[in-house]
Structure 1
Amino acid sequence: MTIEYKDKVTNKLYREVIAFANGTGGTIKIGMSDEKNILGLENPLAEENAVYDQLSKMVEPLPLVEIIQEHIDGKVILEVRVTATEHVYRQRDTLFGDLYVRYGSKKQLLKTADEVHGFLRLRYLDESENALTNTTFRTKDFSGLIDIIQNANTTTDRFKNMQKNLEDVLSSYNIIRWNNGEFVLTRLGSWLADSSHTRSVLLQYSGDRSTSFCQQVSDFSGSIVTQVSRIMTMLQTVQSLYPRELVQQSVVNAFVHRDYSIEGDVSVIIFANRMEISSPGTLIEGLSMESIKKGARIVRRNPLLHALFVDLGLTDGRGDGIRQIIDSYSEGDEKPKISVQKDSISVRLPRKEQVEKVSNNNQRTSTHKEITHEDAILSYLLEHKHAKNVDLQKILGVSPSRVTQIVRDMVTKNQLVAIGERKGRIYTLANTKQEE
């Protein structure tokens, strides 16, 4: 449960209540400092009446609030518990005055009609995250998330003392909710738990097509935060070939903005000349690729999940990831491609180009470095030391005669050494043979 601390009742307390009521609920503890020191209230009954009076005068519709007097160390504080409902709460007698909404640690004032319209659509879409499950909360189900949070590069205060304040942290993002005397997982919680049924896959091919030899197949399951971390770790071997920030942004977006009501996996596929990242689902109704490119305000499918990823430092939360992807390749001949289908969205990132600028009539010459068959063989032998003709067929995805031609040329160039008779012949790197 998200908690705010106030040393006294202020005349703007109603704004905090509006934000909680429009978000996922929360508690305001009055008579405590931000450092959680107990200050106490001299006249708690009068303060309680002042809260009710302020809310009745300032907020429409009247929010669902329960105020409890809590006695701690001989002092009395007020605990204002705010419940979120399907209503839209705002300043009384206005269309959208003082319309605040809060998710996690973020409180936002909606200032324009477009923002309000987006929020109304968001209220409807939030059910995909907020709906309760029948799964009882167990601390051990979030060990993966705890590890990620403890090692995250973040300054978010709520992540301090994570083990001690786990229930408060998870409640603040609506990962768990109190229901009939116990904490249960929301749908969001089911995606973040170690027992999550969501899956993702990483494939790497030796060539430019899926018919070429598949060098690597990795299948991931469990908490989606853990899946993102494992995928990014495995992508370190190709990070130098792509803009790192864009790869992470694309992977994070695939999880944050996917439609979890659709069966399917997030997939990351590495080809010799590109990377393709796909996720189930399509754009939210009302958005198009053209409107996004022109700077349309993003309506997020899973805002609570997005808020968590922002606080973890996995994304900056600016909502301009697609434009960043396009702009980052502005100087190259090859452009990224974003495809929107009925049930999926995919991002295609070309390998980074080595662009050489020359002053020749103000023209720019681009040279592309592609993985050749020779590169693939040399890379394989660096790791495996030797290979047979049949091994190289699998790597290159070409015929035996074509492999024979390629390796014959490489032997002639003193790149490889052939050892043994024709039937059992193996190939090694020329420099390796010389060292031996």
Structure 2
Amino acid sequence: MHIRELFPDVISEDLDYEYKTVLNPDKPIKWAKTIVGYANGKGGVMFVGVSNEGEAFGISLEEIDKTKNLIATINDRHIFPHARVQYMLRSVDANAERFVLAVNVIQADSILRYREGDFNETVYIKGDGNTPPATPEEIIALHKRKFGVDNETTEIKYDEKKWTEYIKVCREYREDSSTPTLKDLQNEEIVSKEGFAKSGFIMFGDDYDGDDSLLCCRLWKGKQKTGTVLDHERFKGSLAKVFQDAINFIERNTKTGWQKTPNGGREEIRSYPKEAIREALVNAVAHRDYSISGTQIDVDIYCDRIEIVSPGSWLLPKNYEEYPIGSIPSIRRNTIIAACLDEANLMERGGTGFQTMIESYKDSEEHLQPVVSIYPGFLNLRLYDKLYEENGVETDNDVVTDAERILEILKIEGPKSVKELQAYTKYKSRSQFLAEVLNPLINEDIVYRDGNAKSPTALIRIKR
């Protein structure tokens, strides 16, 4: 009888299942490391009374009792903290004299070690067909998966002078443009009662330089990555600055302009709603798996869409499509990072970020609705360009860029100061407006500055 006849879900030995003929009491490490490995992973089942080929020959009830006692003894004496196990029996013969013992190992909340002697402890992890000792790097990654990367109390005292990038983001997105107080941060457990920053909050600090905050942005010519890269940036450092830099990259590389209204006025129109872009990036920063070394968040802008890919598995039991719109449960991989975004008014506690994206596309056709694709180890969130058509032409002929808008104003209304021109655009930063809109026009000899560059009375004029 093959094991699959008793347990239909079991096809062969893999990361979830392992076969043992018997458990040798003289060399317990040979099978006890499997228990440790399963507990350190996502759990698993060790079948006793099954050959390496999957043939279920079974063992007697007397042998089962001895096996259970052996597991309990080894668990008590050599495995720390102790593993949690559950047992199940399946008869392999008509007389119910021999059974397969299924030892179900429950995923542990902490890291388990196998101890031999007073000073020799080994952490094991389950591989596909083996259970090797964990390397130092794997132990660090395991610790991050078990406890999160962000919830440890550090020895660094909170000083807002060392979190200026985070303070800047708070002032940008908080409704009252305020700065969170120390009490606010302590109430959210971002900072301990003694004033020490949690490890997740350190990632928002000005001096943070960990590789795990890396975010890469690319602008592609066309619809595929096989095209030409027109613009690219790599952002690393404070999560607050990385987030804002990514927002700015998307802003400067997506179509945003103005269109005339029936009453003669103008209104801003955008390829991508601000709310959707913000929520998509917040979701990527808040929920990515920072324990996976060598990974990054990728933002790829194509001519018809934006794709934001973040490392980490989907945490909910069902796929995205199986949840009714507006009812996706809130679950957090990184509690402190999420709390920091909460305080900055960037993340909704009720898990309504996806709903916000859906709402911002409510006037768009079905094929333009946001899409969440779930793959092993990463998540892809796709937003479609609301102004794009298959022929590459925007849907409204009155759409103009900020630069075109500036030239139109100068032609119609005459010379203007930098401040006056900036007010007609989406730019809140003078330096960014100069760098991305006005200076290119000056360098291309289309307009010129009449007066000292530092003088507020200097005017921008069209070159005749």
Name the TM-score class by shorter chain. Answer: 0.3 to 0.5
More strand by share: 1
TM-score (norm 1): 0.47
